[in-house]
Amino acid sequence: MTDCFVRVALDHPLSTLFDYRCPSDGPAPVPGTLVNVPFGRREAVGLVCEVTAHSDVPPDRLRNVTSVCCSCPPLSADWLALAAFAADYYQRGLGEVALPALPQALRDASRWDRLFAREPRYRALPAGREALPDSLPVRASALRRLAAALLAEDALFASDARALHPKAVAVLDAWCETGWVEREVVDPFAAGHSAAAPVAVTNPTALPVLTDEQTAALDAISGAHGFAPFLLHGVTGSGKTEVYLRALAHLLERRPDAQALVLVPEINLTPQFEAAFRARFASLAEGAIVTLHSGLAEGERARNWLAAHTGHARIVLGTRLAVLASLPKLAVIVVDEEHDPAYKQQEGLRYSARDLAVWRAKQLDVPVVLGSATPSLESWWLAEQGRYTRLTLSRRAVADAVLPVVKLIDLEDEHRRGRASFEGLSGPLVAAMKTRLERGEQSLVFLNRRGYAPILSCDACGWVAGCPRCSAYVVLHKPERALRCHHCGWESRIPRACPDCGNVDIAPMGRGTQRIEEALAQAVPGARVLRIDADSTRRKGSAEALFSDVHAGEVDILVGTQMIAKGHDFQRVSLVGVLNADTALFSHDFRASERLFAQLMQVSGRAGRAGLPGEVLVQTRYARHALYHALTRHDYVGFATSTLAERRDAHLPPFVYQALLRAEGRTLDAALAFLQQAAAALHDIPAAERVTAYDAVPMTIVKVMHVHRAQLLIESGSRAALQATLRAWLPALRQLKGVLRWSVEVDPLDI
Ligand code: ADP
Ligand code: ZN
Ligand code: ZN
């Protein structure tokens, strides 16, 4: 036998593969295998992409593979193709895409042994069930806890036992000798061991009777063959989740090995969603439903990832990163709230999980369901052209739950009539909240600005508290008694007097959630007010605890940012108040109104879900604005149609394709000069003839952490021309100097 060579992808910006020798006496890897290799002066885990009989690298410079991860089944050719596509489309190296997509524990060869170690588990035998815990000494509380854990579970894993007590495993082994317990070692990756089994959905009589619209949607999805993209357009509360559950049940019942991928925008915010899946598919084998998101501990994330990769997990419920999970039997993909900007990764590989999900479905020739009450205009336009099949749920699913009545409170008019308002809360809104309080119903107040006040300023000299590191004002946080920069995290104490003129009368301007929380407590006496935003939920798990207070009825008024708008099925909320929405109407970002409309529809959808008539009150200075008009009529279609027409006239996405080059320099001039050279380099690229380059401009917040930022937008009516241009442009950009960092983003969301 002779040596063979492997070409390995490593997490490195160079898009090349690196050659290594595999000695003939070791295991011969196949493509998709993980290997540990020397890289520079350290070792790194890489992914074998090709196995060849020879290498062009001179033999004296070729190094050996250090070790091969034999326990982990190789990643499939489909998965490698997915990584290669994402790398090519988003202009990154293959290794930069493939390796970060793996759980951290797999990327550290020193942890492979532990990760794949076969873990013993213990099961109580009938003799043990008799004897335990009564034959234990009364005071042996640790032993009694162990016994209780053993009896409570079908099987207790050694690591879980060890977490109860450091000597637990020795005790369990002794109990094995006594005949109380049996010990078994399962190898989850052994051939023949498979969790796959036909599923019968639990307790079919308890399922709700589908509405006609749900039935039609389900029939279309279940009847699909091959690649079939669906846009499930369903108003809030129309029972989209029920359609997903039934479609999955249908598939899993027919195909005992099939896997489903369900993406949600933020899994930490949707425990209800996970609970619904676990309850519905309770008959699946243990571990057949796994979650994948960044909130998981590393070990758990690795185990869940491996469960998906080995086919043991039948349903993977995850956030955007799960779109890159290895799922060898993937047979259907669901993207819930497909319009949500959270599907866009905003650092590193800036991918759209929704777009990759559709690509993956196409590659595997399987159906994909994109669900939303307010689809992205990109998806809506594809449905308009007939490229996606539209499925509509136009009514709420629960009998006698109707969409809430949306009314505008015209602040100009309130002002003209001399009606009183209190700290930004208009009279009609306060009155409506008081009525809810009397009826024992809940109100929800939405405003998308956290902190107490966005600006602290001095009336006497015009001083405004700004961040010393960023070109941004700092936000006043009253409970924390701090000024905080929302861009870089800089913090300082609240000054007693104006640092410029000494005036002690410095005042907060504008209102954030903290200030409204304070105002609500005064405006609605007796109400229990709870604030939910990124500040009040900083500790892990605290959001869930706060939301359960709301569900338990321990809160009368909930105030918060978009965190409270998403997904929650509040049973007792009958009023939603919207404050300060107007700012987004006149943003320089052409997507701002689309986002605002989606947010307002979504937050409105929290009202009146369980048969209580819901009311939404939107405070605005622009009561005639078309967006609000569409909102009051729940008219997504009207809004989408007119906005798409505007986009078409203005040559904006989805009618053109865009990419953004960002540069960060020590000075703004350096960043702009880099972008100007980059623009000049486009002249040498033939494909760029079909591409428009705009002027390089400073970013809105031009300075963050002392770094100056500017950007250059390019666009084309042809995706292929844009892609060809980028492919030729990047090597040219790598030759340019003078900035700290630069990056290219394809299909940017925030411009
Ligand atoms: P969406 O995701 O479309 O906002 P959900 O899936 O959260 O809506 O459903 C809203 C509520 O309607 C949930 O409480 C759900 O249990 C209920 N529901 C769904 N389908 C039906 C049905 N066919 N009959 C009765 N209730 C239903
Ligand atoms: Zn001053
Ligand atoms: Zn800052």
User: Which residues are part of a known binding site for Zn(2+)?
Assistant: 458, 461, 467, 470, 485, 488, 498, 501
Least confident of 382-391, 483-492, 543-552, 641-650: 543-552
Q: Which atom of ligand 1 is nearest to the CA of 234?
A: 3
Tell me, rounded to whole angstroms, the distance of Cα 466 from its chain centroid.
31
**Helix (H) / strand (E) containing 716:** strand 707-716
pLDDT of residue 274 exceeding 50? yes
CA-based nearest residue to 391, from 403, 401, 379: 379
CA distances from 336 to 262, 318, 354, 580 (A): 7, 11, 9, 27
For residue 120, the model assigns a pLDDT of: 80
> Which residue out of 242, 334, 337 has the highest number of ligand 1 atoms within 8 Å of its CB and is therefore the one to mutate?
242
Q: What is the mean pLDDT of residues 133-141?
A: 84
| Residue whose CA is at the smallest distance from ligand 1 atom 2 | 240
Q: Which residue has the higher pLDDT, 179 or 713?
A: 713
Please state, rounded to an integer, the average pLDDT across all residues of the chain. 92
Kindly give the distance from the C-alpha atom of residue 541 to the centroid of ligand 2, in angstroms, as a whole number. Answer: 42
pLDDT of residue 171 exceeding 80? yes
The DSSP secondary structure of 482-544, one letter per residue, reads: EEE-TTT--EEEPPSS-TTT--S-EEEES--HHHHHHHHHHHSTT--EEEESTTTT-STTHHH
> What are the pLDDT digits (tens) for 20-76?
999 877 777 899 999 999 999 999 999 999 999 889 999 889 999 999 998 899 999
For residue 295, the model assigns a pLDDT of: 86
Beta strands in 336-454 (DSSP E): 367-372, 389-393, 405-410, 421-422, 425-426, 442-446
Our answer on whether the CB atom of 450 is closer than 6 Å to any ligand 1 atom is no
Q: What is the mean pLDDT of residues 638-648?
A: 97
pLDDT of residue 196 exceeding 70? no
pLDDT of residue 159 exceeding 80? no
Contact 296, 230 (CB under 8 A): no
> Which residue out of 398, 403, 606 has the highest number of ligand 1 atoms within 8 Å of its CB and is therefore the one to mutate?
398
For residue 750, the model assigns a pLDDT of: 85
Tokens 């033939």, residue located: 686
- One-letter amino acid for residue 385 of the chain: Q
Indicate the CATH number of 204-296+312-393 among 1.20.58.220, 3.50.50.60, 3.40.50.300, 3.40.50.1580.
3.40.50.300
- Give the rounded percent of residues in the chain with a pLDDT score beyond 70: 97
pLDDT of residue 190 exceeding 50? no
Q: Which atom of ligand 1 is nearest to the CA of 272?
A: 7
d(CA 497, CA 330): 62
- One-letter amino acid for residue 81 of the chain: A
pLDDT of residue 286 exceeding 80? no
Indicate the CATH number of 657-746 among 3.40.47.10, 3.40.50.720, 3.30.70.360, 3.30.70.980.
3.30.70.360
For residue 191, the model assigns a pLDDT of: 34
For residue 195, the model assigns a pLDDT of: 47
> What are the pLDDT digits (tens) for 520-567?
999 999 999 999 999 998 877 788 889 989 999 999 999 999 889 877
Which residues make up the environment of ion ligand 3, defined by Cβ < 5 Å? 467, 469-470, 485, 487-488, 490
pLDDT of residue 90 exceeding 90? yes
| Residue whose CA is at the smallest distance from ligand 1 atom 23 | 210
> What are the pLDDT digits (tens) for 484-504?
999 999 999 999 999 999 999
Which pLDDT band, with edges at 50, 70 and 90, does 368 fall under? very high
CATH number for the domain whose boundaries are 4-114:
3.40.1440.60
pLDDT of residue 114 exceeding 80? no
Which pLDDT band, with edges at 50, 70 and 90, does 326 fall under? very high
Ligand nearest to the CA of 500: 2
Kindly give the distance from the C-alpha atom of residue 243 to the centroid of ligand 1, in angstroms, as a whole number. Answer: 9
CA-based nearest residue to 121, from 167, 187, 71, 177: 187
Q: What is the mean pLDDT of residues 8-19?
A: 90
- Comma-separated ranges of CATH 3.30.70.360 domains in the chain: 657-746
Our answer on whether the CB atom of 215 is closer than 6 Å to any ligand 1 atom is no
Contact 195, 256 (CB under 8 A): no
> What are the pLDDT digits (tens) for 658-697?
999 999 999 999 999 999 999 999 999 999 999 999 999 9
Which pLDDT band, with edges at 50, 70 and 90, does 165 fall under? confident
d(CA 549, CA 554): 5
Q: pTM score > 0.85 for this model?
A: yes
Kindly give the distance from the C-alpha atom of residue 475 to the centroid of ligand 3, in angstroms, as a whole number. Answer: 10
Assigned fold of 405-450+512-645: Rossmann fold (3.40.50)
> What are the pLDDT digits (tens) for 691-741?
999 999 999 999 999 999 999 999 999 999 999 999 999 999 999 999 999
For residue 192, the model assigns a pLDDT of: 34
> What are the pLDDT digits (tens) for 218-238?
999 999 999 999 999 999 889
Kindly give the distance from the C-alpha atom of residue 504 to the centroid of ligand 2, in angstroms, as a whole number. Answer: 8
Q: Which atom of ligand 1 is nearest to the CA of 240?
A: 3
- One-letter amino acid for residue 562 of the chain: Q
d(CA 73, CA 385): 41
Start-to-end Cα distance in the chain: 57
With H, G, I as helix, E, B as strand and everything else as coil, classify residue 308. helix
For residue 202, the model assigns a pLDDT of: 55
- Comma-separated ranges of CATH 3.40.1440.60 domains in the chain: 4-114
Our answer on whether the CB atom of 208 is closer than 6 Å to any ligand 1 atom is yes
Kindly give the distance from the C-alpha atom of residue 700 to the centroid of ligand 2, in angstroms, as a whole number. Answer: 26
Q: What is the mean pLDDT of residues 478-487?
A: 94
d(CA 664, CA 670): 8
Quote the DSSP letter at residue 696.
Answer: P
User: Which residues are part of a known binding site?
Assistant: 458, 461, 467, 470, 485, 488, 498, 501
- Comma-separated ranges of CATH 3.40.50.300 domains in the chain: 204-296+312-393, 405-450+512-645
For residue 1, the model assigns a pLDDT of: 57
Q: What is the mean pLDDT of residues 456-481?
A: 95
Q: 346 forms bridges with which residues in the sheet?
A: none
Q: What is the largest CA-CA distance in the chain?
A: 93
The DSSP secondary structure of 645-687, one letter per residue, reads: HHHHHTT-TTSSEEEEEEEEESSHHHHHHHHHHHHHHGGG-GG
